[in-house]
A = this chain, B = another copy of it.
Amino acid sequence: MLGLGSEAAAKIVADLETSMARSKHPIPVGISNRHFHITEEHWRILFGEKGPTEYRRILQPGFWAANETVDVEGPKGRIKRIRLVAPFRKKTQIEISRTDAAVLGIKPPVRGSGKLEGAAPLRIHGPKGHIDVEDAAIIAQRHVHFNPADAQKFGIQGGEMLRVRAGIGGPREMVFEQCLARVSDQFALEFHVDLDESNAAWLKNGDFVHIV
C-alpha cells in the first residue's frame, strides 16, 4: 500500500466525475493533411495577379481548400502539391507532419496556428516563382474547436488543455494529452489532428472522440 489518503481518493473520484460528464458528448474528428496558408503578397509572387479558386468548402466556417498547390523544398528533399487553405492570412504558414519534416530535412516546432516564432525555413515553389520563408513550417498542435455554445455545454474555457480519448473499439486506442481548446463563434465542433496522429490512433474523418 502506498497510503493514499481519503483526500487524494476523493480528488480522484471528483476528477473522474467531471471527465465522465464531459465525455458524454462525442466530438467529430477532422484530419488535417499537409496544407498552407499564404499572404496576398506572397500569393502574387508565386501565382500572379489572379486570386485562388475554390476546390471545396471545409467544415470550419469561412475557410475553403483551393485548387492551387505549391511544392516545398527543404535541405533534404521536396514535397509536391501542398494545397492552399484560403482566405489570405497575415503570415504565410506551412503545416506539415513530422513524417513530412523528415523527408524535407527540417525540424519544425509543434505550434498553434499563427504562432510562427521559431518555425522552420522552407523554399516555396509556385507556377510563377519561388520564395524563401524563414519562419514557414510548423507541426500543428492538436486542438479542439468549440463554438461558444459547445464550450458551455462541455464546461470548457478557451486555452484549456484537454485529454482526448480516441480510437475506442479500434486496434490502436489512445489518449491524447495536451489538446488545446480553442473557442470562437467562427468554429464548428471538431478535434483536429494530423496524419501521424490519425494513423497512430487508427482514426478516419468523421470518427468520434471523447474528452476524458
Q: Assess whether A93 is interfacial by the CB under 8 Å rule.
A: no
CB <8 Å contact, A174 and B177? yes
Which residue of chain B has its CB nearest to the CB of A197?
Answer: B200
Q: Which residue of B lies closest to A194 (CB)?
A: B200
**Cα A141 to Cα B13 with chains together (Å):** 32
**Of B16, B167, B177, B201, which contacts A12 at CB under 8 A?**
B16
Given contacts A199-B200, A200-B199, contact A99 B98 (CB under 8 A): no
Q: CA–CA, A176 to B171, complex, Å?
A: 11
A81 at the interface (CB under 8 A from B): no
What is the copy number of this chain in the assembly?
Answer: 2
Residues of B within 8 A of A17 (CB): 1-2, 4
A135 CB within 8 Å of chain B: no
In this complex, how many residues of chain A approach chain B with their Cβ under 8 Å: the count is 33
23 contacts between A and B (CB under 8 A): A4-B13, A9-B13, A12-B13, A12-B16, A97-B199, A99-B195, A99-B196, A110-B171, A110-B172, A110-B202, A141-B171, A142-B172, A167-B177, A171-B178, A172-B176, A172-B177, A172-B178, A173-B177, A174-B175, A174-B177, A196-B196, A196-B200, A200-B201
Which residues of A are interface residues toward B (Cβ below 8 A)?
1-2, 4, 9, 12-13, 16-17, 20-21, 97-99, 109-110, 141-142, 167, 171-178, 195-197, 199-202
Closest to A98 in B: B199
Q: Tell me which residues across on chain B come within 8 A of A1, comparing CB atoms.
A: 17
